[in-house]
Amino acid sequence: MVETLSSPGNCTGDERSYCAQRVSRSEFIELRGTRHHLRRWGSPQAPLLVLLHGWMDNSATWQFLIDQLQQDWNIIALDWAGFGLSERRTHYAFTEYLADLEAFLDQVSPDEPVRLVAHSMGANISSLYAGVRPARIRSFINLEGFGPFPNHLATLGTRIGSWLDSLARPGEGRTVHLPDVATLARRMLRKNPRIDQAQAEFLAWHFVEPDPAGGVRIAADVKTFSFIPIFPHPEQVETLLSQITARVLFVRGADSFLTEAFKGHEAALQRRFDCVGDSQTVLLDAAGHNLQHDVPRELAALIDEFLEQDP
């Protein structure tokens, strides 16, 4: 039996439906020959704030955080290629996303450095970019984007082998097929008890697309499960971090898999933080990897306070 849910983000008075305080509007732009979707919130006359999501995510992920921000912003959140409503392409690599980010900033802020909030994969891309193009970034809030992992080199051969295997089976992979949106909402609640039913339904609505075979599927290209698995060496990452001139706030969740991965390697993680000349670090209790879902009010307060200090 296929279940139905009320339309996401509508303030209907139904406590099961998440009521978005700031409603987004969608636009499409072309970046390097690929059609990209973005969401906007707020007045175009307000100061610009750019938001970049992580892997297996999309721009709707920011809604709960945006609803808690106290300052007025011209917010633009991109769907990376292969995710959400952005176009799919033949392959995916971090270097390609760096080029996409530059093309994106050329369109939305060609003459001024930007304030940037980025999560996970988006934060890793942004960290590298901020070191390569320091003049383009004014302030940067890095949410759980501290790669590579401590075991990066030990697993490199396995990851490259998996990528080569995926090339022999184009179109196959870990695409998640579901009978309906409600099924995904229940999965999200089981996986993350920090969100409530209304939030799970909102996210589920925005994380799927119709499946030609029936039901729905996760709105991401199956090929994004098998990135070209080359990530800069830790020394290269530290070199780029040291070239960042923006103010940086590093935020991580106490219960995140990333925090767990760096247990026993805390000195290596702190060394990365210390590479940035003007940086702060915050560990949020009762939060996992998806800080923007788990503690949106606390995270918004951190962002508001940090950005208020901009010169």
- Mean pLDDT calculated for residue range 34-47: 98
pLDDT tens-place string over residues 218-263: 999 988 877 777 788 999 999 999 999 999 999 999 999 999 999 9
Portion of the chain with pLDDT greater than 90, in percent: 79
pLDDT confidence band for 50 (50 / 70 / 90): very high
Domain residue ranges in the chain: 25-149+233-308
Neighbours of 93 (CB within 10 A): 13
Task: Indicate the pTM of the whole model.
Answer: 0.94
Is the domain covering 25-149+233-308 a CATH 3.30.750.24 domain? no
Give CA separation, 26 vs 67, 122, 174, in Å. Answer: 17, 20, 28
Handedness of CA 216, 219, 223, 227 (dihedral sign): negative
User: What is the pLDDT, as a whole number, of residue 123?
Assistant: 98
> Which residues, other chains included, contact 5 with Cβ-Cβ below 8 Å and sequence gap of 6+?
181, 182, 185, 201, 204, 205
| Paired tokens of 225 | 């499960």
CB 26 within 8 A of CB 86: no
Of 299, 302, 261, 250, which Cα lies nearest the Cα of 144?
Answer: 250
Q: Where are the extended beta strands (E) located within the chain?
A: 25-31, 34-41, 48-52, 74-78, 114-119, 137-143, 177-178, 208-210, 216-218, 247-253, 279-284
Given a cut of 80, whether residue 198 has pLDDT beyond it is yes
One-character DSSP codes across 56-108: T--GGGGHHHHTT--S--EEEEEPPTTBTTSPP-S---HHHHHHHHHHHHHHH
Neighbours of 155 (CB within 10 A): 13
Q: Label residue 42 left, alpha or beta by phi (over 0 means left) and psi (-120 to 50 means alpha).
A: left
pLDDT confidence band for 3 (50 / 70 / 90): very low
155 vs 36: CA distance, rounded Å: 32
CA angle 58, 62, 66 (to 5 degrees): 155
